């Protein structure tokens, strides 16, 4: 699996990819920090289920609270990116090519996912740092006190927030991978992913409040928000972990057993 991870990193660590990712991350982080702080000032009390107020942002975890709030809006984006990355390997025939160099299919799939998650982890760390810095610059203009943002408590909160976001990204990544491996077609898997994580779950949630306790996308949102009135973060974590185990088993079994003809 190490060789697969290293091969994937050859693609990811090219200068063009790094520059594009760095610019996108910086723009997203700065813009989202500003938007979250301005929203808090405007009296928006809940963003994606997580309380974001001038008061809450003035606490020790306020700096990274901005980060988790901003990132939680990008769930469908992460989902779609991973679906696209894996389904594209089928449609281009590059899984066929890779299997001739790494015939152990589970290792290939797991290695590719691991490399992408490692890259995502690095991007998230950079995003958290940039968001924190940008938020610290913007905060005084919105009357958000930042005195407690630099403290041991703040560091602990930052690590906790980072872990939550990483789990949230990994969840969407694994679910997206499973859809791509099962469906294989880029347009079809994207359509399914966008429809499910976008309108479908939220429409059902509007009609049936308990959906938050059962649907994977809503559970991931609830987890990264630190829990909601319908489901605690702990319950969301456990339920999502079960979904992810099932998704991994389906993706692994399908990929290992199916003919690769494209």
Residue 6 binds other proteins (CB under 8 A) = yes
| Residue nearer to other proteins on the CB measure, 94 or 141 | 94
Residue 101 binds other proteins (CB under 8 A) = yes
Other Cβ atoms closer than 10 A to 107:
16
* DSSP, res 74: G
| Residue nearer to other proteins on the CB measure, 24 or 97 | 97
Q: How far is the CB of 101 from other proteins (least distance, A)?
A: 3
Task: Please give the sequence-ordered ranges of beta strands (E in DSSP) within the chain, or none if there are none.
Answer: 46-47, 50-51
Sort residue 145 into left (φ over 0), alpha (ψ -120 to 50) or beta.
beta
| Residue nearer to other proteins on the CB measure, 14 or 45 | 14
Q: How far is the CB of 90 from other proteins (least distance, A)?
A: 10
Residue 164 binds other proteins (CB under 8 A) = no
Q: At residue 53, what are phi and psi to the nearest 5 degrees?
A: -125, 170
Residue 96 binds other proteins (CB under 8 A) = yes
Residue 69 binds other proteins (CB under 8 A) = no
Q: How far is the CB of 188 from other proteins (least distance, A)?
A: 20
Residue 100 binds other proteins (CB under 8 A) = yes
Residue 4 binds other proteins (CB under 8 A) = yes
| Residue nearer to other proteins on the CB measure, 23 or 245 | 23
b/e burial code for range 41-51 (CB count within 10 A of at least 16 → b):
beeeeebbbbe
What residues from 204 to 233 belong to the interface with other proteins (CB under 8 A)? none
* Segment contacting other proteins by CB under 8 A, of 50-58, 60-68, 91-99, 146-154: 91-99
Task: Please give the sequence-ordered ranges of beta strands (E in DSSP) within 13-141, or none if there are none.
Answer: 46-47, 50-51
The CA distances from residue 221 to 77, 188, 197, 232, in Å, are 13, 24, 11, 11
**Residue 228: partners with Cβ closer than 8 Å, 6 or more residues away:** 49, 212, 222
One DSSP character per residue, 142-188 reads GT---GGGSSHHHHHHHHHHHHHHHHHHHHHHHHHHHHHHHH--HHH
The residue from 24, 97, 141, 253 that contacts other proteins (CB under 8 A) is 97
Residue 11 binds other proteins (CB under 8 A) = yes
Binding site for other proteins (CB under 8 A): 3-4, 6-8, 10-11, 14, 16, 92-94, 96-104, 257, 259-261
């Amino acid at each position: 699996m190490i060789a697969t991870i290293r091969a994937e990193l050859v693609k990811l660590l090219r200068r063009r990819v790094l520059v594009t990712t760095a610019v996108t991350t910086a723009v997203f982080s700065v813009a989202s920090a500003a938007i979250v702080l301005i929203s808090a000032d405007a009296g928006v009390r809940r963003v994606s289920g997580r309380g974001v107020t001038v008061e809450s942002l003035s606490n020790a975890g306020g700096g990274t609270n901005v980060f988790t709030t901003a990132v939680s809006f990008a769930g469908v984006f992460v989902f779609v990116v991973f679906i696209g990355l894996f389904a594209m390997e089928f449609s281009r025939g590059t899984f066929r090519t890779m299997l001739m160099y790494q015939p152990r299919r589970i290792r290939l799939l797991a290695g590719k996912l691991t490399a992408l998650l490692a890259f995502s982890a690095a991007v998230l760390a950079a995003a958290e740092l940039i968001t924190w810095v940008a938020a610290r610059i913007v905060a005084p203009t919105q009357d958000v006190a930042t005195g407690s943002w630099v403290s041991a408590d703040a560091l602990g909160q930052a690590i906790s927030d980072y872990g939550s976001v990483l789990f949230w990204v990994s969840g969407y990544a694994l679910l997206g991978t499973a859809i791509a491996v099962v469906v294989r077609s880029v347009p079809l898997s994207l359509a399914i992913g966008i429809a499910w994580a976008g309108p479908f779950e939220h429409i059902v949630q509007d009609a049936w409040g308990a959906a938050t306790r059962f649907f994977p996308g809503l559970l991931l949102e609830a987890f990264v928000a630190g829990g909601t009135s319908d489901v605690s973060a702990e319950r969301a974590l456990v339920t999502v972990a079960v979904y992810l185990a099932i998704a991994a088993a389906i993706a692994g079994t399908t990929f290992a057993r199916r003919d690769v003809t494209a």
